[in-house]
Structure 1
Amino acid sequence: MTQRDIFFVANEVDELGGVGRWQAQMAGLLAERGHRVTIVGIAPANHPMDLGENPPFRTVTLHAQRPPGRPRPRRLLGSADPAVRRHDTHMRTAAERLTELFRAARPGAMIIVGQVWAMEWVALSDTAGHAVIGMTHESFETARKSSRFERVKKYYKDVDRLLALTQEDADRWVGEGMNNVGFMPNPLPIVPDTPSPRTEKVVASIGRLSHEKGVDLLLDAWAEAAPQQPGWTLRLYGRGDAEAELRRQCTDLGLDDSVDFAGQTGDVPGALRSSSLFVQSSRGEGFPLVLLEAMACGLPCVAFDCAPGVREIVGHEEDGLLARPGNTTELARHLVRLMSDDGLRDRMGEQALHNARRFDPEAITQRWEDLFDFLER
């Protein structure tokens, strides 16, 4: 196996969230195989996560603080506007640091750009002939509703490979004229020694308390489900800007006795093992790691079918139940069905435990190795 220099370039080195966790995990997995791995962040993280005392990879951050967006040039000055010139000079200076890193790398190096904002810096750098792999860590539909959609088409059109998270999303990007598209699922983030016994009357939800994660929709669904299954608790793990509003909603719905705002947890496997069922109510997702984590702990999952990545992970009526996006009555019905039927919950939980192994970290890492070999030919 060729030992390579591998660069992960993203918005931040250690931002708490799905992309940051994926990046740190993949960097560690590739470092374990003998590769020399560097994570490059454009700016410092707003909410940094702990990478451990001695991570097996190097980290570099290009800017001391998050750079502002490029100012709109004044009409008569155009690109000669001093504010625009200062911004562009600052950005080019940071890109020169990337160039130095890439030029110092051994032949066969790989540059993996995890977010399209970071690709703007890579595009300004000299990649020294190394292969560049761009990634979009959200569904096609989520990207299409944001400014990132046109930027993906602009900045990733000439990379060696653009990776979506599912074949379905990859096909959608091909339909947009991108002819360099493949897909790569995320690896299983945890492989717990002991799964949940599914004996506690607890439904777990883990994620930011934000509009995108749809916890308001989950509370509406819980208001329908909880009266039908007394004694069950909905335990919400996470923090976020919407917490105060969600607590008010919980009180207004009369749910204070059956909803536990448990805060952020540093022990996801422990939180899942003390639950019997997992629910995700997001309005949009990419390839949600927390669903993989829940399944790896033997929990059946109930979720909104809001993205190809969700239905790639959860098989409806096999290891979980999927509701139409935003349909809180259907979500409530699925929750009640699993809360009320121990046998169904156990059967789906055991199937979830088995199916999660499709995303075994070693298998996904080997897929990356195969891609590297292919791009070097």
Structure 2
Amino acid sequence: MSRDVFIVSNSTDELGGVTGWMHQTARLLAGQGHRVHTIGIHASDLKMALPVEPAHPVTALYPAHPPTPWTPHGIRDRFRIPTRRKEAARAAAKKRAVARLSEIFATARPGAVVIVTQVWAMEWVGEADTSGLRVIGMSHESYGYSRASHRYRWIKNHYKDLDHWLVLTEEDADQWAGDGMNNVGFLPNALARLPEVPSPRTARTVASIGRLSDQKGIDLLLDTWALVAPQRPDWRLRVHGAGEDEAALKEQCTGLGLDGSVEWMGRSDDVERALAEASVFVQSSRGEGFPLALLEAMASGVPCAAFDCAPGVREIVRDGEDGLLAPPGDIAALADRLLRLTGNPRLRDAMGARARSGVQRFSASETLRRWEELFAFLER
């Protein structure tokens, strides 16, 4: 059955994995004959360059990130006229954005579905008119990472009454179900594509790909590399990505004496090429969901060393078989994994080949089949 599918995210163009997932999923669903519309709450400053121009409609409700609601503190605050005017303007702009979202949803034909990829976007979807639509909420991070953040309260408030909500692994779904979320299911991310030719794994390069933010743990990676670099003076760490922590991380790099062995590559618009030029991939995140970067590295035949920070990581990387995992935040252990991979070309080749083969279990066709099953289930 062909249906209208609206995918709503915080942004449709922000540099990051959720943006990539959004447009990849839109392409897959459109290829199945569905009419897909991607919607972002706002346009982003730090934009992602998409490998393929979207063939589906793309809408941003705001031209930039909307202001945070104002909360007065004390009686004197309530009489600050300029601030009250700004808050009134913010509320009016939100009302217009919600109305625009309702107009888009009103174009839907019977059987339409709204997929909300991030809980912050539910503020607008929750106020919009979704009459006749099935609403699916999603989380792209692990239960543990959400539980330790303010998003836990948002999820409990916004997602418990939806038609369905999805996490990325069965383990995460079980944890949320045990926490009282009875409408939860799981669906892993799909592998976008399999490069025709894997990395030759001949370059003495370790690659990291991800936003330069606290979640991605590049500060932990630099501390790790400080343990690896003296023993691997002919290897280089290439950090692909951009983000709010860039200046602080470069300062840390200099302070650790790593400027000669760390290369800052900037935003990674051509991930496939970056991986083709690497022999090892490293992920040092504090928290993840089902990281696309790991999938892409393994599809390129690049063995991975990563912190075991989420069920999705250990579901993708089978420790000791097609990659090596370290306890979360343990830089000595991650350094050990990197030393093993950089020091043993036979191990790299064996794990890289198994990674490329094994990661194909997350095929797009299997993911599409499960989306169709969910759509049919929600119609019953």
TM-score by length of 1: 0.93
Query: What is residue 164 of structure 1 aligned with on the other side?
Result: 167
Contact 1:202–1:275 (CA under 8 A) maintained in structure 2: yes
What SS does the aligned partner of 2:66 have? coil
Q: Partners of 1:168 and 1:62 in 2: how far apart?
A: 35
Given that 1:134 and 1:162 are in contact with CA atoms closer than 8 Å, whether structure 2 keeps it comes out as: yes
Q: Aligned to 1:344, which of 343, 347, 366?
A: 347
Q: Is the partner of 1:224 in helix, strand or coil?
A: helix
Give how far 1:14 is off.
1.6
Query: Does residue 106 of the first structure (1) align with residue 105 of the second (2)?
Result: no
Task: Establish whether residue 353 from structure 1 lines up as the match of residue 352 from structure 2.
Answer: no
Q: Output aligned runs, 1:11-160, within 5 Å.
A: 11-51=10-50, 54-73=53-72, 87-160=90-163
Q: Which runs of 5+ in 1 are unaligned?
A: none
- Judge which range, 257-266 or 148-157, deviates more: 257-266
Q: Distance in 1 between matches of 2:50 and 2:333?
A: 39
Contact kept in structure 2, 1:73 and 1:84, CA below 8 Å: no
- SS of the residue 1:302 aligns to: strand
Give the secondary structure class of the aligned counterpart of 1:203: strand
SS in structure 2 opposite 1:309? helix
Identity %: 54
Matched residue SS, 1:278: strand
CA distance in 2, matches of 1:248, 1:26: 38
1:64, distance to aligned residue in structure 2 (A)? 3.4
What is aligned with 2:9?
Answer: 10
CA separation of 1:229/1:50 partners in 2, compared to 1, >3 Å: closer, same or farther?
closer
Q: Which residue in 1 is equivalent to 2:181?
A: 178
The alignment yields a C-alpha RMSD, in angstroms, of 2.0
- SS state of the match for residue 42, structure 1? strand
The runs of at least 4 consecutive aligned structure 1 residues that moved more than 3 Å come to 50-54, 73-77, 81-90
Name the SS for the 1:34 alignment partner: coil
Q: Which digits, 9 at most, give the CA deviation of each residue in 1:264-323, with x for residues without a partner?
A: 232111111111110111111121110000000001100011111111111110111111
1:194 aligns with 2:197: yes
- Read off the aligned partner of 1:163 and give its amino acid letter: L
Q: Is the 8 A contact 2:190 2:363 kept in 1?
A: yes
Task: Compare 141-150 and 179-188 and name the one that shifted more.
Answer: 141-150
Judge which range, 87-96 or 223-232, deviates more: 87-96
The residue that corresponds to 1:373 in the other structure is 376
CA distance in 1, matches of 2:249, 2:357: 35
- Cross-structure match for 2:279: 276
* Contact kept in structure 2, 1:72 and 1:84, CA below 8 Å: no
Secondary structure of the corresponding residue to residue 348 of structure 2: helix
How far is the alpha carbon of 1:86 from its aligned partner? 5.1
Q: Matches of 1:42 and 1:308 in 2, distance apart? A: 29
Instruction: Give 3-state SS (helix, strand or coil) of 1:62's partner.
Output: strand
Answer yes or no: is the 8 Å Cα contact 1:42–1:62 preserved in 2. yes
Residue 22 of structure 1 and its aligned partner are, at CA, apart by: 0.4
Q: In 1, Cα distance between the equivalents of 2:227 and 2:85?
A: 58
Number of residue pairs the alignment of both structures matches:
374
Give the letter for the 1:305 counterpart: D
In the aligned structure 2, how far is the partner of 1:129 from the partner of 1:340? 59
Shift of 1:178: 0.9
Counterpart of 2:221, as a letter, is L
C-alpha contact (below 8 Å) 1:99/1:128 kept by paired residues? no
How many Å apart are 1:147 and its aligned residue? 1.5
Question: What CA distance in whole angstroms lies between the structure 2 residues aligned with 1:103 and 1:256?
Answer: 55
8 A Cα contact 1:219 1:250, kept in partner: yes
Mean CA deviation greater in 209-218 or 340-349? 209-218
Q: Which amino acid aligns with 1:10?
A: S
